């Protein structure tokens, strides 16, 4: 039986990845923060290891004990769009989770587990204020937050182990990807919930910084499929994983409200002082991975949005 190890298995990507690997007959291990449960339908089906990756002293020993064939590093300290922690400039926790912990794992692979293959989840935010549109793997890294800086460093770390030590290491530069498991404070989930509430007569205004902001959205389950495909290739590399289709926040809102037969007018609103959008939006050119292993996003945009709205309706009924 093949064994896989997933850091951050309680997140949306971890859920879809663990489910897919279980269906393929893998034994699955995953890390979760102490006090954070795995999704209910994974309970008892995977081996959970409680660990705070900001203090990863025991991580190397755990990896050696499991000796997995595949490792998927999906854990990340803080999402780039949440809270004000990026603005504080405190890089230590970002670096611990996004760089130091992966480094510990890669050292174990180099020294003890030469057949193990490693995937690192990076972010389009490594490009900062992009200079090109759409972005390719060769786009210049211009990280402008602690989160983005640490993710850029993670990409470079993986490149070092791949090119210098010959390890099978792949990096996915992930663009926005959504699912019903997205946290409540994400833009997409807030819109889906507003649409669900409006459908039962609760039209509560929700304000956003910039309804004209352009986003490259895809479905999380499709991006997880790309991760799995990359670790089946003869060697590793760096790959953009994206839909390549630019859409605005308002377009997402219109699609969500259409699911319940409504329009977002008067509910999805622009703040009085909108945030200034990047001149060049985050839109990825994923032609490299498409040519390598035939990956294409399988979930239509409208279907992805409908799944999120349906999930919010179910929560309201509960």
DSSP output for 243-259: ---EEEHHHHHHHHHHT
Pair 230, 207 in one domain = no
Pair 41, 160 in one domain = yes
Pair 231, 256 in one domain = no
Average pLDDT in the 287-313 region? Answer: 97
Average pLDDT in the 96-111 region? Answer: 97
Is residue 228 reached through a cis peptide bond, with omega within 30 degrees of 0 on the bond before it?
no
Pair 103, 200 in one domain = no
Count of the separate structural domains present in the chain: 2
Residue 39 to residues 9, 66, 110, 175, 177, Cα–Cα distance (Å):
9, 22, 32, 24, 19
Reported as a pLDDT band with limits 50, 70 and 90, residue 311 is: very high
Per-residue confidence (pLDDT) for residue 1, from 0 to 100: 87
Domain annotation covers residue 258: yes
Pair 142, 204 in one domain = no
Return mean pLDDT, the chain.
93
Distance CA 231, CA 237 (A): 10
Domain annotation covers residue 269: yes
Instruction: Report the range of poorest mean pLDDT among 28-32, 77-81, 269-273.
Output: 77-81
Pair 192, 127 in one domain = no
CB 152 within 8 A of CB 280: no
Average pLDDT in the 292-303 region? Answer: 97
Pair 29, 126 in one domain = yes
Helix (H) or strand (E) holding 27: strand 27-32
Distance CA 212, CA 248 (A): 5
pLDDT per position as a tens digit, 57-98: 899 999 999 999 999 999 988 654 445 556 666 789 999 999
Pair 57, 123 in one domain = yes
How many Cβ atoms from other residues are within 10 Å of residue 188's Cβ? 22
Distance CA 18, CA 21 (A): 5
Per-residue confidence (pLDDT) for residue 276, from 0 to 100: 65
Q: What is the CATH number of the domain that holds 171?
A: 3.40.50.720
Pair 264, 234 in one domain = no
Domain annotation covers residue 270: yes
Distance CA 168, CA 219 (A): 26
Per-residue confidence (pLDDT) for residue 94, from 0 to 100: 92
How many Cβ atoms from other residues are within 10 Å of residue 135's Cβ? 25
Domain annotation covers residue 293: no
Domain annotation covers residue 295: no
Average pLDDT in the 98-113 region? Answer: 98
Going by DSSP bridges, is the β-strand pair 117-123/169-174 parallel, antiparallel, or unpaired?
parallel
Q: What is the CATH number of the domain that holds 209?
A: 3.90.25.10
Pair 9, 146 in one domain = yes
> Which residue range forms the structural domain that includes residue 143?
3-177+217-241
Distance CA 309, CA 62 (A): 39
Maximum Cα–Cα distance across the chain: 60
Top pLDDT among 90 and 114 is at 114
Instruction: Report the range of poorest mean pLDDT among 33-37, 149-153, 163-167, 229-233.
Output: 33-37
Three state DSSP letters for 255-303: HHHHCCCCCCCCCEEECCCCCCCCCCCCCECCHHHHHHHCCCCCCCHHH
Instruction: Report the range of poorest mean pLDDT among 35-44, 139-148, 164-173, 258-267.
Output: 35-44
Pair 19, 34 in one domain = yes
Distance CA 48, CA 29 (A): 6
Domain annotation covers residue 283: no
Residue 31 has pLDDT above 80, yes or no: yes
Top pLDDT among 317 and 290 is at 290
Domain annotation covers residue 98: yes
Task: For the chain, give the percent of residues with pLDDT over 90.
Answer: 85
């Amino acid at each position: 039986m093949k064994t896989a190890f997933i850091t951050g298995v309680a997140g949306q990507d971890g859920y879809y990845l663990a489910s897919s690997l279980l269906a393929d007959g893998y034994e699955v291990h995953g890390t979760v923060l102490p006090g954070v449960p795995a999704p209910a339908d994974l309970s008892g089906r995977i081996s959970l290891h409680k660990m705070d990756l900001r203090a990863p002293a025991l991580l190397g020993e755990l990896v050696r004990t499991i000796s997995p064939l595949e490792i998927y590093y999906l854990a990340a300290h803080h999402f780039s769009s949440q809270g004000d922690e990026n603005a504080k400039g405190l890089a230590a926790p970002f670096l611990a989770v996004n760089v130091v912990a992966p480094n510990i794992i890669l050292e174990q692979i180099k020294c003890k587990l030469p057949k193990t293959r490693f995937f690192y989840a990076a972010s389009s935010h490594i490009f900062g204020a992009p200079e090109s549109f759409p972005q390719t793997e060769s786009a210049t890294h211009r990280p402008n937050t602690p989160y983005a800086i640490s993710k850029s460093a993670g990409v470079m770390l993986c490149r070092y182990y791949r090119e210098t030590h010959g390890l099978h290491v792949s990096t996915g530069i992930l663009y926005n990807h959504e699912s019903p498991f997205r946290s409540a404070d994400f833009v997409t989930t807030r819109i889906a919930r507003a649409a669900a509430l409006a459908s039962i007569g609760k039209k509560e205004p929700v304000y956003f910084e910039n309804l004209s902001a352009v986003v490259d959205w895809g479905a999380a389950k499709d991006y997880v499929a790309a991760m799995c495909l990359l670790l089946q290739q003869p060697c590793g590399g760096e790959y953009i994983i994206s839909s390549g289709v630019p859409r605005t926040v308002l377009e997402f809102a219109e699609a969500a409200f259409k699911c319940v037969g409504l329009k977002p007018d008067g509910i999805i609103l622009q703040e009085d002082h909108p945030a200034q959008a990047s001149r060049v939006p985050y839109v990825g050119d994923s032609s490299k991975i498409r040519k390598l292993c035939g990956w294409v996003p399988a979930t239509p945009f409208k279907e992805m949005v409908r799944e999120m709205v349906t999930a919010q309706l179910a929560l309201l009924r509960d």
